[in-house]
Structure 1
Amino acid sequence: MTYSTVEELLKSINPDFIEDVQISTAEGFVKEGLSNRTISELVMAGLIVNYGQTTAAHKFVGSVSSATGDGNLWSIVGGNKLLPEKLLKYSGATLINAKVEKIKWDEQYEQYLVSYYVDRFAHRENKPDRNITLTDKNLVTKVYDIVIVAAPLTRDTSNIVFEKLPSLTFVPDGRYHRTVCTIVKGKLNHRYFGERNEANEIYSIKDNLLINSVARIYSVHKRPRKGESEVWKVFSQKPLSKDDLSEMFLRLIDVKVVDWLAYPHYDSNQTLGSFVLAKNLYHVNAIEWAASAMEMSVIGAKNVALLAYKNWRGVNVDNSEKDEL
């Protein structure tokens, strides 16, 4: 089956999931029989480290967050980034590394004109394409029958301009939550966190502290030997100053910072969006308003791919064509 909205998809899995996005994690877990202490400590710690948010977030995302407490997680040798890289390679798709500026509907031909910025000289080295025009401002416009947007579309995350769409389905008018990930190679000062003994992970259960969590990062191949340099991942709501890091670490060898709007800011009574923005225009990231996770994105992406195929070919995809999510 394919689903046009996130609500339809959740209902198909379990009708109770719709109720879960209408109540807070705290309220929902109380109904499940968890104690207030368990919720305020264990569940809260998971939400702060995974989403930088509290148990005021809706119960569905709180449940997804709590599921990460299972120790049976995995990593890919060389980094999890290899998963999308290998999928791209074996799909045979062409990747154009460019910033999309505008998506315009051509009513006469019922096609989309997608404009994006590219490196002018690199573009000229490619084979000419009659469907592409190039302006002096390095803005390429190309014709597409189907467009799938795999990026957030809130006002704080997207500058894509949509023009003359046949109709535009509602997109939740929310915002994305800022998370700063600081990777530090060095020696952690455990006493700064009130720890007498060395700990591998430190989690916060309050949302107004300087950091959300600190966790040691291990190699996929082996754990570091005693005396070898340690690598730590620090999550925070805002960038950490040099003074902050100097207090947290006894020795700093290297520091890398990734500061981004990582996932939606969740509320109870959450509004869910649609996978269909307009005719032949789809939005994978709509599923993030239920919960933002790589696994959720895979579900959303497969649903959109099947939905686009079904609508374009005008056929009903059945189980024999492996349509099940």
Structure 2
Amino acid sequence: MYLSAFVLSALLLCALRPGAAEELHQQPPGRIAIVGGGIGGSSAAYFLRQKFGKDVQIDVFEKGQVGGRMATIDMDGAEYEAGGSVLHPLNLHMKSFAKELGLSVRPCRNSLAGIYNGNEIIFQQSDWLFINIIKLLWYYGLNYMRMYMWGEDLLAKFARIYQYQSYDYSFSSAEQLFHALGGEDLSIKLNMTLDDSLQKAGCSKKYIDEIVTPAIRHDFSQLPRINAFVGALTLTATYTKLWSIEGGNMLVCPGLLEASEAQLIKGTVTSVQENTGGIEKLYKLGYETSTGPHLGIYNIVIIAAPINKEISNINFVGFSPPIDTSSNSYIQTVTTFVHGQINSSFFGFIEPCQLGLTDILTTKNPKLFFDSIGLGDPVKGPPGTLQPTGQKVWKITSPDPLTKDQLNLLFTSYHAVSAKKWLAFPQYNPPGKLPPIILHDQIYYINSIELAASGIELSALSAKNVALLSYHRWFGINGQIDQEDLVERFKSEL
């Protein structure tokens, strides 16, 4: 009798050991914490509510403004996008969010871009598509078509993620996700520079220097040494009609938090540690609000902000092995809005000629102090709306704040300047290992995917993957995690 009781107790203790507890979950978790109220955190709250149901308490911690790196800036009474400003037609989660939340969408203005090499405009778009095609063929031969086919092939592979997620498949690492989408080809592009990948596809060095480099400088303040995957996502956006949310893309975030019925806690998360001693695995979150330090207990923790010490500085206490917070550095980008008259002569035009371009992108040149300059559009009203003065508002991206002398070079006159400094993007240095998605048994990291590619839709996709992954792991549904044969499986079912 005593032996039977001993064996029964031993089996029970074995079943309750860390790792086996996942198999015993019959009910949803009681409390889920999400650290970060940007698009990653807010969409995670939305997807977690869909999966785990109405009885789970979801707390979202945000130390600043909801929206994160999607933010607007005030310029003479009008709001302009200072962060993530445009969306791709294939951004299906953002399209769905806008529809679900009743937000209006609008097309972005037609762009008329020029490429500036520090001395002159070396390529200038026309209003006529046919003329642009002739120009590209004349200057660069078939390079544009090679880039187009290269980018579309990669984009088609990545778009499989929507089908996978519609069937609730999830992935425990970014590497597993990308391999399931595109096999070795997509994995290779994560570890190859954009420059090398495009040259391998047949693009000339001249085309990369004069057309590709300006696009990458504009979007990421970097050069084509970034990985080929994030480069492809950027370049495919250069030949399609982009869109945005009326009133600002950041409106999606508070809308998703409201739809998820999550509780927003305005505070800074300072520490995460295991709550040891009990049968159930729990985590203690230390955080500070305006009323002082606090402590919360949670079943699942979702990190939806970079764990890089430069940005979040969360202390992960007592984990073995330690949770690595030494991920890649983030690039500083300064977005400056100037309400004034641009100096056309700086770009090689003869004054008093009006600048006929809406965007100026730049090649690599050590003497250039900015990456791009473009006509700003208020987030409300038709694209191309001017300020009441009739003067234009220009948006400038640069690695450092612009000095007064630099502003005087770019503008003949101006009467308002507003700037925002960001640690906006990871420093892409392929090849490199991506951070884990699973930081601990029930701690998940949405921003792992950001080291492969950064963007609004990428954050939403990663948030849904984490929501699905945490759900499947909580209930032990292993058949929905890390399935490698999905491409062939879906082909056979069609």
TM-score by length of 1: 0.87
- Of 290, 306, 326, 1:119 maps to 290
Contact kept in structure 2, 1:172 and 1:273, CA below 8 Å: no
> What is the deviation of 1:234?
0.4
Contact kept in structure 2, 1:101 and 1:161, CA below 8 Å: yes
Range with bigger deviation, 50-59 or 168-177: 168-177
Range with bigger deviation, 154-163 or 174-183: 154-163
Corresponding residue of 2:303 = 149
> What is the deviation of 1:207?
5.8
Deviations 1:227-250 (A, max 9, x none): 613111100011111222122122
> What is the deviation of 1:10?
0.7
Q: After the TM superposition, which residues 192-231 of structure 1 pair with which residues of structure 2 at under 5 Å, given as runs? A: 192-196=346-350, 197-198=354-355, 199-206=357-364, 208=366, 209-219=368-378, 221-222=381-382, 223-224=384-385, 228-231=390-393
Alpha carbons of structure 1 residues 317 and 117: separation in structure 2 relative to 1, 3 Å: farther
Give secondary structure in 2 for the equivalent of 1:183. strand
| 2:223 is the alignment partner of 1:54 | yes
Corresponding residue of 2:416 = 254
Corresponding residue of 1:159 = 313
Letter in 1 for 2:174: V
Range with bigger deviation, 61-70 or 8-17: 61-70
> What is the deviation of 1:38?
1.5
- What is the number of residues matched between the two proteins? 303
Query: 5+ unaligned residues in a row in structure 2: which ranges?
Result: 1-168, 487-494
Contact kept in structure 2, 1:214 and 1:233, CA below 8 Å: yes
Q: After the TM superposition, which residues 34-183 of structure 1 pair with which residues of structure 2 at under 5 Å, given as runs? A: 34-109=203-278, 110-120=281-291, 138-168=292-322, 173-183=327-337
> What is the deviation of 1:171?
5.9
> What is the deviation of 1:170?
5.3
| d(CA) in 2 for partners of 1:256, 1:225 | 17
Identity of matched residues, %: 31
When Rg is computed on C-alpha atoms for both structures, the one with the higher figure is 2
| 2:10 is the alignment partner of 1:10 | no
| d(CA) in 2 for partners of 1:89, 1:183 | 31
| 2:436 is the alignment partner of 1:274 | yes
> What is the deviation of 1:51?
0.6
| 2:197 is the alignment partner of 1:28 | yes
Contact kept in structure 2, 1:181 and 1:235, CA below 8 Å: yes
| d(CA) in 2 for partners of 1:53, 1:32 | 21
Letter in 2 for 1:229: Q
Contact kept in structure 1, 2:450 and 2:459, CA below 8 Å: yes
